[in-house]
């Protein structure tokens, strides 16, 4: 398997470990870490540090209604990925693997054309609204309209390759983009580039073509 060159930012990994991340982005981070030694090691180290910090907190007497309060919070946080204890042996099985979301594999994905050379498939799951987690298929030579993001966007390349202003991305690479970064990825090579993308907010297209395509992309 190819060793990834592009990885999540440290803050992204820290949010993942701390459970401060929506499920859609956590799926993409977990899928990258499952094929990246460096990141799975970093996650385990961060979990170990988190465990030590929890253990060093002084115990305090609990209020009578503490349990109800904790349960109420746990309910409202049901879509947040819970931080796990440091256990490298259990990696990555203790996270929902991508195959849970792509039950039929990549071969049987039902693609919907959104623009010439561009198709997508929304991955439905509980815990996030429709369209936040999706697969994008870009035909070789097709360039995505230039866009920024109102929130963060994380991308994992599952097949093929693309290039944009930030570099060349191949299978296993993780693109971790901030709200203020603009990019226009172009698929390269001779097979379509298939990416798994989670966005925390809609894309903001910079070009007229992009703005016209936006309703069709459904973001
Ligand atoms: Zn990595």
Residue carrying structure tokens 């996030």: 128
Domain match, 78 and 138 both: no
Distance 3 CA to ligand 1 centre (A): 9
Last residue of a domain, one of 81, 100, 119: 100
Contact between residue 189 and residue 219 where contact means Cβ atoms under 8 Å apart: no
Domain match, 95 and 133 both: no
The pLDDT of residue 207 is 59
Give the mean pLDDT per block of 10 residues along the chain (219 residues).
Answer: 93 87 86 92 86 64 66 51 45 62 82 92 72 89 76 89 94 88 88 90 57 54
The pLDDT of residue 204 is 56
The total of structural domains in the chain comes to: 2
CA 216 to the chain's CA centroid:
22
Domain match, 68 and 122 both: no
Distance 41 CA to ligand 1 centre (A): 9
Distance 36 CA to ligand 1 centre (A): 5
The pLDDT of residue 184 is 85
- Whole-structure pTM value: 0.73
Distance 132 CA to ligand 1 centre (A): 22
Last residue of a domain, one of 85, 100, 115: 100
Q: Look at residues 190, 181, 197, 136 and name the one whose alpha carbon lies nearest to residue 161.
A: 190
**Does 2 reside within a domain?**
no
Distance 33 CA to ligand 1 centre (A): 6
């Amino acid at each position: 398997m190819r060793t990834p060159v592009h990885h999540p930012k440290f803050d992204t990994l820290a949010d993942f470990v701390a459970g401060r991340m929506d499920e859609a982005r956590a799926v993409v981070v977990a899928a990258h870490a499952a094929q990246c030694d460096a990141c799975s090691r970093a996650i385990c180290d961060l979990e170990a540090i988190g465990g030590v910090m929890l253990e060093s907190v002084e115990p305090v007497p609990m209020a009578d209604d503490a349990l109800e309060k904790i349960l109420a919070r746990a309910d409202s946080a049901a879509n947040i990925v819970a931080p796990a204890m440091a256990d490298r042996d259990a990696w990555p099985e203790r996270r929902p693997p991508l195959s849970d979301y792509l039950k039929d594999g990549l071969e049987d994905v039902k693609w919907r054309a959104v623009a010439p050379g561009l198709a997508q498939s929304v991955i439905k799951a509980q815990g996030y609204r429709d369209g936040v987690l999706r697969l994008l298929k870009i035909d070789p030579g097709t360039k995505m309209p230039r866009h920024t993001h109102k929130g963060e966007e994380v991308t994992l390349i599952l097949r093929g390759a693309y290039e944009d202003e930030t570099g060349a991305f191949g299978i296993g690479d993780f693109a971790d983009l901030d709200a203020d970064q603009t990019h226009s990825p172009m698929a390269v090579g001779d097979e379509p580039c298939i990416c798994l993308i989670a966005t925390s907010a809609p894309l903001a297209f910079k070009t007229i073509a992009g703005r016209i395509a936006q309703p069709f992309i459904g973001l």
